[in-house]
Structure 1
Amino acid sequence: MNLVLIFILPLVLSATEKDDSAYDSSPTDTKSRFAMLDDVRILANGLLQLGHGLKDFVHKTKGQINEIFQKLNFFDKSVIDLSAQTNEIREKEEELKETTTRLQANNEELKNISRKIHSQVENLLQDKKQLQTKVGSLEEKLFQMTQGTTEVQEIKEISSLKNFVEQQDINIRHLLKVVQEQHTQLDHQNVQIHDLEDKLSKSDFQERRKSVLAIRRSRMGSLNFSNSTDGMVEQNDSRDCNDIYNRGERSSGIYTIRPNGSTAFDVYCEMTSDNASTVIQRRIDGSVDFNQTWESYLNGFGELTGEFWLGLEKIHAISQQADYMLHIELQDWKENCRFVEYMFTLGNQDTSYALQLSQVSGNIPSGLPEQRELLFSTNDRNSGDLKCPAETFSGGWWITACSGTNLNGKYMKQRPRTRLDRRRGQGIYWKSEKGRLYSLKSTKIMLYRTDLDSFE
């Protein structure tokens, strides 16, 4: 603006002088006219320079505005990332609170046990003092016995009582040792609990299974199924994966079985060093759509080497020929592995394949009600009285509630982060009756035989 005034002011003054001279002199000559044209050129040149200056200013302003928008976009992205991280931190805080509550409950339980043991020890110490007094009198009587002043019957009673006192003293010493060990466990309980939780991973599953099988086999005595006459089967007449294991196979893979003389079909056998399990369901990556009809769940679908459902009729045929354990392995989106095992019974198609469970072991709360019949349902056949909205249920499962456990639900390619993503039917879930909801990345359900006498 100052530049414009500098250029305009001379022109105004020049014009004023020209007007004043008009009254005093003759008409303007040619030279003054050229002077006015020069002034106009100077003014135009100044205006042109002013326009260039304004143009540069506009370009610079636009560049600054673009930089501000870029910084605002980066800030928005940072806010979104911070919100997601905040949600994860909140979830971890909830998990830590639950773990702390469990540890506190265990600590209180151990303290109560310690108090009880202390009370018992004090009682035993008092008994010990009384017994020591009696032992002194018995020794005196024993001395008299050696002098021939007691009868034979009294000698027997004194010897028996002395043996009893000695045994009681041994028991008291043993209990004192147990109390000392209990104190040591109380001092290190928190460390042990944390170490135990860290060690509960997928590699522990097989070790636990080995322990259970070893206990059962020891109770069965020297029975060896593979050496029994009735236990020997031909390769084409294997009734389950355990038969295939007994004939010498040790590699996990696809094998053909014929349960109870039924039509032969292929199964996936998972082999370990001392046992074999029949896999009846596997979810790993969402490559197979589990939102299938009743007919599909009846006969089975998917690929045995990937994701699949073996089929209700085949599962029923296997489960009816012996006592089997239902083993479920779960993995969440944080790569934590858990398992649960049930004793179970499975009905036929007339009962909607009613499942009845009793938990035996595991390192996660049961996500299925126990000691009552659970009916299998699909989208096109609801075997129970549930009326769940369409978006809350997908796949076939032993549904007990619209918001409960469903290992055959719609697979999500990533961990659900919002409540909208966590609607039932939008993921694989495991939910205990009064516990937290676990969102899962992969699942595997297997059957393995426990009663080796059943085929005889």
Structure 2
Amino acid sequence: MTLTLTFMFVLVASWTMVLCTKEEPMSEDPPLLQVPAVEARSRFAALDDVRLLANGLLQLGHSLRDFVQKTKGQINDIFQKLNIFDHSFNQLSVLASEIKEEEEELKKTTVVLKANNEEIKSLSLEINSKVESILQERSQLQSKVGGLEEKLSGLSQGLVPAEQLAEISTLKDVIHTQERSIAELLKAVREQSDQLVQQRSKIKTLEEKLTFNPSMQETIEKPSDNFQSVTPDLTGYLTNTSANGSFNMTDLPSDCCELFTRGERASGMYTIKPNQSEPFMAYCDMDQDGGATIIQRRKDGSVNFDQNWEKFENGFGDFQGEFWLGLKKVHSLASQGDSFLNIQLEDWKQGKRFIEYNFSLDGPEAHYTIHLSQASGNLPDAMSNHTGMKFSTKDRDNDNLEDSHCAYTYTGTVVGTGEDDILWMHGLS
């Protein structure tokens, strides 16, 4: 549009110059033929029209320029609004991501609270049954004491035999003991009741949150995609060079116990090399006296332990969470000499218990047969009667039972009947 206006202005100016040029000879050298006055007036009238047209075009050009400036301003405003919209959209995306993470955390918390609630209910029922039994015994003892008191009142005038005095004293001691037991059980029942109230309050709060957020409820009702996904393999054997460079094969410790002897006191991942084995990564617990190599850890159910033979032989999971070190590696650790297998359990109230066994493990040719004998601990012994049992998985049944397959029965992998708890292996020199 600007080029068109410029061209028109040049055309008008040229026309004006031509007209002016034609008028100059009339003042200096009159032509041979006189031009009529009417024709001269018509020429001047045309010139006025041209000038009027030029002024109109000039005004039109100014108007167009103002319109273009105004349009540019409006376009700039639109771009600013678009930028504001993009910024708001990005903020909404970040907020949606945070909400999704909170949903995952709430889902995990709900599962844990439900499990705790079921455990508390079972404990409460068990305690109630014990309290009822104790109350019945107390009633029986009170009736016996009442009978003895009647006998004593009848013999108050005479001398009481020593046997009856001893029986009365014994019964009184029993009654006092029962009363103390009842008081302790009632206290435990009250504590369990308070915990049940707290658990129900937490569950109710979570249910209210789920009610206000239907999408979260659908997420909880659906099985976890992460749990159904492929369980990651644990770090395999290392060669004489690693991603960080080379290391001396002869200088590596044989287990975490040797690391502790060398002065290491920080728990974490270390490279070890048991006898007759390639080096591999292991998690060492230096909080244990003498150091301990963790061969299994379970704490939150984030890893599916219902795996096949290959997975259990090579190891799977994550050292930072739940994992199984692998049968090959455990066998190489146990083959170095006398070892202890230490099983530690921690409940939801941070109560800790353990049991420790003298431990050895045969190689793959014997299907990793386990040999155990109890050494110490405050847990019930559930493993000693499985000594001599072979390792079984859902795809390889080695338990020698004709009418059952333990790995399928207990939905997992077993040595005999299996223990899905935290395991430590202590190497002893």
What TM-score bracket applies, with the shorter chain setting the length? 0.3 to 0.5
- Greater C-alpha radius of gyration: 2
Higher relative contact order (CA 8 A, sep 6+): 1
